Chains A and B, each alone.
Chain A
Amino acid sequence: KQEVTQIPAALSVPEGENLVLNCSFTDSAIYNLQWFRQDPGKGLTSLLLIQSSQREQTSGRLNASLDKSSGRSTLYIAASQPGDSATYLCAVMDTGRRALTFGSGTRLQVQP
Chain B
Amino acid sequence: DAGITQSPRHKVTETGTPVTLRCHQTENHRYMYWYRQDPGHGLRLIHYSYGVKDTDKGEVSDGYSVSRSKTEDFLLTLESATSSQTSVYFCATAGGGGVAGELFFGEGSRLTVL
> Hey, which bits of chain A sit against chain B, CB under 8 A?
4, 31-32, 34, 36, 42-46, 49, 51, 89, 91, 93, 97-105
Please classify the interface of chain B as helix (H, G, I), strand (E, B), loop, or mixed, using the class held by over half of its residues: strand
A42 CA to B9 CA in the complex, in Å?
A: 11
Give every chain B residue within 8 A of A93 (Cβ-Cβ): 101
| Chain A residue with Cβ nearest B6 | A43
**CB < 8 Å A-B pair total:** 61
B43 near A98 with CB under 8 A, answer: no
Number of interface residues of B (CB under 8 A): 27
| In the complex, the 3 A-B pairs of residues with the closest C-beta atoms, listed nearest first | A104-B42, A44-B105, A102-B43
B interface with A by C-beta (< 8 Å): 31, 33, 35, 40-45, 48, 50, 56, 58, 90, 92, 94-95, 99-108
| Distance of A42 from chain B, by nearest CB (Å) | 7
CB atoms of A44 and B90 under 8 A apart: yes
5 new A-B pairs (CB below 8 Å) besides A46-B104, A100-B45? Answer: A32-B100, A32-B102, A36-B105, A98-B94, A99-B58
Report yes or no: A99 in contact with B106, Cβ–Cβ below 8 A: no
